[in-house]
Amino acid sequence: MARHLKIRTNKVGLPPGTLVHVGEERTEPVRITVMDYDQDQLREFCPTSIDQCSDYRDRPSVTWIKVVGVHRPEVVEMIGNCFGIHPLVQEDVVHTEQRPKMEDFDDYIFIILKMLKSVDDGAGDEQIRSEQLSLIVGRGFLISFQETEADVFDPVRDRIRKSKGKIRRKGADYLAYSLIDAVVDQYFLILEEVGEELEVLEEELLAGPAPDASQKIHRMKREMIFLRKSVWPLREVISRLSRGESEIFTEPMGIYFRDVYDHTVQVIEAIETFREILSGMLEIHLSSISNRMNEVMKVLTIIATIFIPLTLVAGIYGMNFEYMPELRWRYGYPAVLVLMASAGAIMLIYFRRRRWI
């Protein structure tokens, strides 16, 4: 729960534009790869210096600069200065707990969204983790900043390398669309896994109230809140891109982003549906526990009710007064046992006919 609600305070008091990494601490080196392509050629390499990246700023081809690792603000600052990126944008890049958003700076567009992935938490359960993806889209170039090497862009890279589809014939705006579309498609895979987990949990609840069912439900409810927080703001981002208000994204790109917008709405609706299902599951679980408790109390009440008259008879003849006539009767003991057995049998028959048991 802490990873969803933790508030960072290590930037308090610093002036705007100060680059301070906020996020998971990492020690691995920053890795930069460049893919420069057009319809006829492709060049892919890892630059030995950041100055090599600036050489691709004004080329007629499309250049994708992928930066893995934002834990070193000085590297982000050097790349940002090479491409004229505003210091506040650089600050948002190294602050990995931003909400999805889009900002238009005329010469480039800055987009933040969340990449989601499912990882094993070590206890046999799948846990959803998010990673901030920052995109800076300019005329003929795109710079992506991500926290780790693992991403969801293998299909995009494959299309570029093999010249599949339209990507090699389009500009940086189409590349940005392809990356965003890949991120949104990953949301569907995450929701499919969540749906399967919900089905398993539902079967467990129908079989009977499991001891850890409440913990599982609350954990999944937190995951749904986390997903909603990651996906809900993206709808406005995609909506703005689909309206074609920026010169960076050409007008024909509107139809592509409207398709991504529809997918985003489907994801949000699925998240809301899962939240309602989880709320219903919690009610079913609590009702099952209450019903089971009622059954136990009913059995205990019936047993106690049957033994009340038996206890009464045993109590009366257990007083041992001297002038109790039945104490000296030869058949007194068997008669009392028959009386007690008859009373218990009559009460059982009565409860049975009333369908109380």
pLDDT of residue 36: 93
68 forms bridges with which residues in the sheet? 31, 146
The percentage of the chain sitting over the pLDDT mark of 70, rounded to a whole number, equals: 94
Identify the band that residue 1 occupies on the pLDDT scale cut at 50, 70 and 90: very low
pLDDT tens, 315-324?
A: 888 887 777 7
**Parallel, antiparallel, or unpaired: how do β-strands 141-146 and 62-68 relate?**
parallel
Q: Is residue 166 classed exposed, middle or buried when 0-12, 13-18 and 19+ CB atoms within 10 A define those classes?
A: exposed
Distances (CA, A) of 33 to 21, 49, 143, 144, 266: 21, 11, 10, 10, 33
Decide if pLDDT at 344 tops 90: no
283: number of CA atoms within 13 Å, CB side? 6
Decide if pLDDT at 17 tops 70: no
State in words which class domain 2-288 has.
alpha beta
Cα(93)–Cα(20) distance, rounded to whole angstroms? 10
Whether domain 293-353 has CATH 1.10.357: the reply is no
pLDDT of residue 56: 79
Task: Please give the model's pTM, rounded to 2 decimal places.
Answer: 0.80
Structure tokens given for 4 = 């969803």
Distances (CA, A) of 153 to 161, 177, 316: 12, 12, 86
Distances (CA, A) of 80 to 53, 65, 135, 175: 11, 12, 12, 20
Decide if pLDDT at 234 tops 80: yes
pLDDT of residue 49: 84
pLDDT tens, 42-61?
A: 999 998 888 888 877 778 89
146: number of CA atoms within 13 Å, CB side? 22
Q: Per-residue pLDDT averaged across 351-355, rounded?
A: 84
Decide if pLDDT at 66 tops 90: yes
pLDDT of residue 10: 61
Decide if pLDDT at 247 tops 80: yes
The percentage of the chain sitting over the pLDDT mark of 90, rounded to a whole number, equals: 39
pLDDT tens, 250-276?
A: 778 889 999 999 999 999 999 999 999
145 forms bridges with which residues in the sheet? 67, 134
pLDDT of residue 51: 82
Cα(208)–Cα(211) distance, rounded to whole angstroms? 9
Among 64, 68, 100, which residue's Cα sits nearest to residue 184?
Answer: 100
Would you list the domain boundaries of the chain? 2-288, 293-353
Q: Do domains 2-288 and 293-353 have the same CATH topology?
A: no
Decide if pLDDT at 292 tops 90: no
pLDDT of residue 154: 93
pLDDT tens, 32-43?
A: 999 999 999 999
